[in-house]
Structure 1
Amino acid sequence: MDYLAATKQKKYLMYISQNYSYAILRPLQSEILAHGGQVRWFLEGDYVTPDFLAPDEQPLTSMTEINQWQPDAVFAPANIIPTFIPGLKVAVFHGFDAGKLNSKGQNDHFKIRGCFDLYCTQGPNTTGPFQQLEQKHSFFKVIETGWPTLDPFFAPEFESPYIDENDSRKTLLICSTFSKRLSLAPKLYEKIKYFCEQGKWRILMQFHPKMPEQLVTKYKALENNNLTFIETDNVLPLLQAADVMLCDTSSILLMFILQRRPVVTFCNQDPGKHLIDITDPDKLETAIDYALTHPQSLMTEIEAFCQQLHPYQDGLSSQRVLAATNELILTNPKLKAKPLNFIRNLKMRKKLNYWHW
């Protein structure tokens, strides 16, 4: 059966709580609209800004409106979603598994919170663990689709506005997560300031939106002809503009490495052979210079890693996610009932001011 054709006349809700989620779900929105489906957006919480909605993107502003619209499926690039929201709940992830461990030493990427009916995984290294969890819990399905976010990345017409044809220097992209324990930003300030004054590379810098404002302000003050600080809801053009990345344990490094370009990390929590990981700031410049030579052994490791992380370079992951979603809607497999999650759903009802049962 052509499950893409089944999109026609169906309703799909984009449920987001962060500004970066716009770019994650827009390729999927394009596929839905191209196949005759309807799309609405629901913006939850204080970290997402309505200003980023395009003029033709229609929001729903309350649970009452969502219930009146009755979506067939809800896509969420988040860890949780209210189970009382109507429609098939589909997890599309807000990033790759970067190996981050919580305070209990557990990897939250694989934590099952009882919210979703379908997990659309990105590649073999996440599909396997989620399939094991599917067998254990039996209240959701797992289908490997690739990540819709990256579809524009692999389009031949994709061009970055951050590329400067008039600057012959190599471009270094510096990205950091917001966690004080994992972030390179507070630890490498003096070294980055030196690079900024040195001018050896053209530097682009971008932080996680939850980065403390004090640190953001401190780094913005470094801006000159050698360093540009960028705030954006779509990092893909930024990734395309760089020759090498400096990062910590942020999952954004995994998006960058899919271009088959080297990444230097500082105190990465899960350093593999595909990364050049250092723990001494004084070795940073040498590591970046080494990365820019594209050593064959490193590039071989990067290729092998990418095949496990996200083997799809066809730009069709959105189609696979949509087809997998429609298949589950139409076949309606008998899944075990989700956990009640009474306390979590009570908190979500309070947050959304929704008390109808």
Structure 2
Amino acid sequence: MMADYLLFASERYALPILQPLADALQAQGHAVHAWFVDGAAGASLAAPVRNVGLHEAVALKPRAVFSAANWVPPFVSGAKVQLFHGFNVEKREDARGHFRVRGLFDLYCTQGPATTAPFRTLAAEAGHFAVVETGWPKLDPLFRDDDGSAARLRRRAGRRPVVLFASTFTERLSAAPHLYDAIAQEVRRGDRYWLLTLHPKCPPALFERYRKLAGPNADFVETEQLIAAQRAADVLVADTTSVVSEFVVQRKPVVTFRNRAPKAHMIDFHEPAELPAMLEHAFTPTPELQASLDAYADAIHPYRDGRSSERVIAATEDLLAGRLGRLSAKPFSARLRALQIRRELGYWGRG
């Protein structure tokens, strides 16, 4: 039976997370609507997903609301499902970061064992949400390339190997200001083809500098193209961005600049002048490095079938059917947060 589903986001980087889920819902015959606020306001997903506003979202009475933000409007009806907007890259302490529970969600769809185990512990303590390991919808196209976008990016490189550069917007962690000259020199050499991207919240001046590197040896890719760029690239250069974990899921080498929590699967370095040597290491990985890449990928996202969206839908149906157990009432702190959200959105109607 056809049902209405609502996709919710507050930042543009949520769009590649929600689009594969929208496609899967539509393939099952459902109607999909999107409500985008704050940094995602004015954005849209591919047709026939229809954008709605606050009052229409409430009137829609969706069967479920899928959020790629760390919050969701609790006054909209339907199951509230958390999809996550990134991997846990240890930018913050657990209590403030990836494992913070705000009491707004009924179901957490986790990405892999490294996330599932902590959230199941939290669920057992709290009792007001369920946890199902599904994989991450954003990575479905990483293993499928249904529209051929990754192949098109790859063709621009000819026979050359491809390097992707991605950077977080967090100023103290961002590699972009520090590595610009070293990357520009590599682009000028032309023996490798570069795909360049920045987090949407990076300063406009930084965007302008990196866009100017585009030419016969490099291309600048927008946020919406990031997954295609990851599929097309052989090696990633980054910092503490969650793109590192997304890329590693493919078992491909990553070079990280001053990563906040460097691990065995990363080739971490501290001085821009070291970049050429780090790239050589990445393009000739040792068996030990490859084993570390494989192990980390299995821990954070073992799914390589491109079907995580379908698992999210199935988990949501299990929740609605009561197959995930009975949930307890939301805590008092969640009710306070719900009032804050109403005030921030200016909505005091029923719901």
The TM-score bracket by the shorter chain reads: over 0.9
Specify the alignment match of 2:20 in structure 1: 27
| Unaligned stretches of 5+ residues in structure 2 | none
Counterpart residue type for residue 52 of structure 2: L
Specify the alignment match of 1:263 in structure 2: 254
Q: Out of 125-134 and 218-227, give the one that drifted further.
A: 218-227
Specify the alignment match of 1:53 in structure 2: 45
Specify the alignment match of 2:128 in structure 1: 139
Residues 1:123 and 2:116 aligned together? no
Counterpart residue type for residue 60 of structure 1: V
Specify the alignment match of 2:337 in structure 1: 344
Inter-partner Cα distance in structure 2 for 1:335 and 1:287: 49
Counterpart residue type for residue 213 of structure 1: P
Q: Out of 315-324 and 193-202, give the one that drifted further.
A: 193-202
**How far does the alpha carbon of each residue in 1:265-299 deviate from its partner, in whole angstroms, 9 at most, with x for none?**
00111211111111122222101111101321111
Specify the alignment match of 1:88 in structure 2: 79
Q: Secondary structure at the match of 1:223?
A: coil
Inter-partner Cα distance in structure 2 for 1:48 and 1:231: 17
Inter-partner Cα distance in structure 2 for 1:342 and 1:311: 36
Instruction: Work out whether residues 17 and 47 of structure 1, in 8 Å CA contact, stay in contact via their aligned partners in 2.
Output: yes
Residues 1:12 and 2:5 aligned together? yes
Inter-partner Cα distance in structure 2 for 1:87 and 1:45: 22
Residues 1:246 and 2:237 aligned together? yes
Specify the alignment match of 2:144 in structure 1: 155
Instruction: Work out whether residues 99 and 107 of structure 1, in 8 Å CA contact, stay in contact via their aligned partners in 2.
Output: no
Inter-partner Cα distance in structure 2 for 1:14 and 1:186: 34
Inter-partner Cα distance in structure 1 for 2:270 and 2:126: 39
Note the C-alpha offset of 1:177: 0.4
What is the number of residues matched between the two proteins? 346
Specify the alignment match of 1:175 in structure 2: 166
Q: Out of 184-193 and 269-278, give the one that drifted further.
A: 184-193
Note the C-alpha offset of 1:53: 3.1
Inter-partner Cα distance in structure 1 for 2:128 and 2:226: 34
| Unaligned stretches of 5+ residues in structure 1 | 1-7
Percent identity for Structure 1 against Structure 2: 39
Note the C-alpha offset of 1:44: 1.3
Inter-partner Cα distance in structure 2 for 1:194 and 1:302: 28
Q: Out of 21-30 and 293-302, give the one that drifted further.
A: 21-30
Return the TM-score normalized by structure 2.
Answer: 0.92
Note the C-alpha offset of 1:158: 6.0
Instruction: Work out whether residues 35 and 53 of structure 2, in 8 Å CA contact, stay in contact via their aligned partners in 1.
Output: yes
Measured on the aligned residues, the alpha-carbon RMSD in Å equals 1.9
Specify the alignment match of 1:5 in structure 2: none
Specify the alignment match of 1:4 in structure 2: none
